[in-house]
Amino acid sequence: MRKFPGGKKMSEVQTDPQKYEDEIDLRELFQVLWENKYRILAGTLLVALLTGLVSIFLLTPVYQTKLDLVISMPEQYHTRYGDYKLPIS
């Protein structure tokens, strides 16, 4: 039979049941976050930088467009008040 420290047998060892706290201490949680604020900020900036670099250099553009806008104007403009030569200055 296996012996534990103190020379006790397994049947003689009493284990304390684990104690779980059902409450979350918000002050302690915020304190941990505040103490690690620079790590959190550095991680966030690193992920943002890597995401930007991937989107710029590795991803191909999905949409591409080109527009040629040509406006044609007649040399003369006819109205009921008369004919006008364009451009009017």
Average pLDDT over residues 9-37: 78
Indicate if the pLDDT at residue 1 is higher than 60: no
User: How does DSSP assign 35-77, residue by residue?
Assistant: HTHHHHHHHHHHHHHHHHHHHHHTSPPS------------SEE
| pLDDT of res. 78 | 82
| pLDDT of res. 10 | 61
| Helix, strand or coil, per DSSP, at residue 8 | strand
- Proportion of the chain above pLDDT 70, given as a percent: 73
Instruction: Dig out the tokens for 29 from the structure.
Output: 């949680």
Asked if 78 and 67 count as a contact pair (C-beta separation under 8 A), the reply is no
pTM reported for the whole predicted model: 0.44
